Amino acid sequence: MRIAGILLCLLLSLAAFGQESKNEIGFTIGAELIPDRTSGGETVGVGNSIIFGANYARHLTGDHTRLYLEFPFTAAPSHAVRTADTNSTPNLATLYVVPSLRVKFASNHTISPWISAGFGYGLYEGNRFLANDNPNPHRRNSSGTAQFGVGADMRTGLKVLFPISLRGEFRDFYTIANPEYGGPVSGYGQHNLVLTGGFVIHF
Q: What tens digit of pLDDT does each residue of 59-77 get?
A: 999 999 999 999 999 999 9
- 29 inside domain: yes
Number of domains in the chain: 1
Q: How many CB atoms lie within 10 A of CB 72?
A: 27
Specify if 15 maps to a domain.
no
β partners of residue 165: 155, 200
pLDDT band at 17 (very low <50, low <70, confident <90, very high): very low
Give the model's confidence band at 9: pLDDT under 50 very low, under 70 low, under 90 confident, else very high: very low
Q: How many C-beta neighbours within 10 Å does residue 75 have?
A: 18
Confidence of residue 86 (pLDDT cuts 50, 70, 90): confident
How far, in Å, CA of 107 to CA of 104, rounded?
6
Q: pLDDT tens digit string along 116-126? A: 999 999 999 99
Q: Is residue 121 part of a domain?
A: yes
Quick one: 81 exposed, middle or buried, by C-beta within 10 A (0-12, 13-18, 19+)?
buried
C-alpha to C-alpha distances, 45 to 34, 50, 68, 90, 188, nearest whole angstrom? 9, 16, 36, 11, 17
Whether 159 is in a domain gets the answer: yes
Q: What is the pLDDT of residue 63?
A: 94
- pLDDT by residue (tens digit) across 32-62? 999 999 887 888 999 999 999 999 999 999 9
Using alpha carbons, select from 190, 202, 196 the residue that is nearest to residue 46.
190
In a domain, residue 58? The reply is: yes
Position 20 scores a pLDDT of 60
12 within some domain: no
Q: What percent of the chain has pLDDT over 70?
A: 90
Asked whether 147 and 118 are in contact (CB, 8 A), the reply is yes
Whether 138 and 130 have beta carbons less than 8 Å apart is answered as: no
CATH number at residue 92: 2.40.160.20
Is the predicted pLDDT of residue 18 greater than 60, yes or no? Answer: no
Cα–Cα nearest to 126, from 78, 174, 164: 78
Residue 183 lies in a domain: yes
Rg of the chain over Cα atoms, rounded to whole angstroms, equals: 21
Distance in angstroms (rounded) separating the CA atoms of residues 195 and 152: 12
Task: Please say whether the beta carbons of 101 and 117 come within 8 A.
Answer: yes
Identify the helix (H) or strand (E) that includes residue 17.
Answer: helix 2-18
Residue 137, helix vs strand vs coil = coil
pLDDT tens-place string over residues 94-117: 999 999 999 999 999 999 999 999
The domain containing residue 84 runs over which residues?
A: 21-202
* 11 assigned to some structural domain: no
